[in-house]
């Protein structure tokens, strides 16, 4: 685990066990509360982070946010059994549906208590959760339960897996909805954009992602010239063409 200080009150904890992907857990330290964005692959990883921020947590409320249901973003939830966990209302159901398959396919990455702990504070379709410091809103795309988090003080936006370098991963036939979400990010024009597996995404990269989705909509074959990207692209094509 590596800690990257994005600004004095915003940290990225970077994990590299899921090579070739890096995976982030973000921690936002606010005057009244501390926010943890995603819980990576288990409570043992979360214990390391919580030990690191022990002093900054004193006397503050704690909130956890699951940006979406994928295992590499929620398996650390058991650490936060007593903490409000904010997510889209479908997140818990989708976690349940994929729990057994994910454990059998990816279980070697699990570090800690193997238990399914579902979110407790639920956001509706097109809904949001807000206080003085933080705005959390529904941003379907990579998955239908996607949430994004805007830190209103730093003007940093956290987008889960809706943006990813070098290529996004699509799991649903929802390209128009995905484009709407990305256009929303462009309009917000935040100071920094951070994603679940990529730091410091630029507006240009969002525009390129929108163009990529537009190309997918045409259904024409696309040569990406790189075998890793090509493989993900072909999976994206299959999902994008799937029956709803």
Residues that bind Zn ion (CB under 5 A): 70, 161
CB nearer to Zn ion: pick between 53 and 168? 168
Neighbouring C-beta atoms of residue 43, cutoff 10 Å: 23
CA distance 68 to 76: 13
Answer yes or no: are the C-beta atoms of 126 and 89 closer than 8 Å.
no
- Identity of the residue, 145 or 161, whose beta carbon is nearer to Zn ion in the bound complex: 161
Residues in the chain: 244
Instruction: State the minimum distance, in angstroms, from the CB of residue 197 to Zn ion.
Output: 8
Contact (Cβ atoms closer than 8 angstroms) between residue 162 and residue 182? yes
Which helix (H) or strand (E) segment holds residue 7: the answer is strand 2-7
Smallest gap, in angstroms, from Cβ of residue 47 to Zn ion?
A: 23
* Closest to 232 (Cα-Cα) out of 141, 139, 164, 178: 164
Closer by beta carbon to Zn ion, 25 or else 53 = 25
Closest to Zn ion by CB, 9 or 70: 70
What 3-state DSSP class applies to 239? helix
Report helix, strand and coil shares of the chain as percent, to nearest 5.
35, 25, 40
For residue 164, the minimal CB distance to Zn ion (Å) is 8
CB of 29 to Zn ion, least distance (A): 25
What minimum distance in Å lies between the beta carbon of 113 and Zn ion?
Answer: 21
Do 85 and 64 form a contact (C-beta atoms < 8 A)?
Answer: yes
Shortest approach of Zn ion to residue 54 CB, angstroms? Answer: 29
Instruction: Pick between residue 21 and residue 127 the one whose CB is nearest to Zn ion.
Output: 21
Give the residue with the Cβ less far from Zn ion, 102 or 161: 161
Nearest to 106 by CA among 23, 215, 172: 23
How far lies 18's CA from each of 23, 66, 70, 109, 147, in Å? 7, 18, 13, 8, 22
């Amino acid at each position: 685990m590596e800690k990257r200080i994005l600004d004095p009150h915003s940290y990225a904890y970077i994990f590299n066990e899921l090579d070739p992907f890096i995976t982030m857990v973000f921690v936002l330290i606010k005057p009244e509360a501390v926010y943890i964005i995603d819980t990576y692959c288990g409570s043992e990883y979360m214990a390391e982070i919580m030990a690191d921020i022990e002093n900054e947590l004193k006397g503050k409320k704690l909130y956890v946010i699951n940006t979406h249901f994928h295992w590499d973003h929620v398996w650390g939830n058991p650490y936060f059994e007593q903490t409000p966990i904010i997510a889209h209302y479908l997140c818990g159901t989708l976690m349940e549906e994929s729990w057994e398959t994910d454990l059998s396919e990816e279980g070697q990455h699990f570090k800690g208590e193997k238990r399914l702990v579902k979110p407790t504070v639920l956001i509706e379709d097109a809904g949001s959760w807000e206080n003085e410091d933080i705005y959390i809103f529904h941003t379907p795309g990579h998955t239908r339960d996607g949430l994004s988090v805007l830190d209103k003080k730093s003007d940093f936006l956290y987008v889960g897996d809706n943006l990813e370098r070098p290529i996004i991963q699509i799991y649903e036939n929802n390209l128009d909805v995905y484009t709407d979400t990305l256009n929303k990010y462009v309009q917000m024009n935040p100071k920094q954009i951070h994603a679940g597996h990529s730091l410091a995404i630029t507006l240009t990269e969002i525009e390129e992602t929108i163009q990529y989705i537009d190309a997918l909509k045409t259904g024409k074959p696309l040569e990406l010239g790189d075998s890793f990207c090509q493989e993900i692209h072909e999976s994206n094509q299959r999902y994008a063409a799937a029956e709803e």
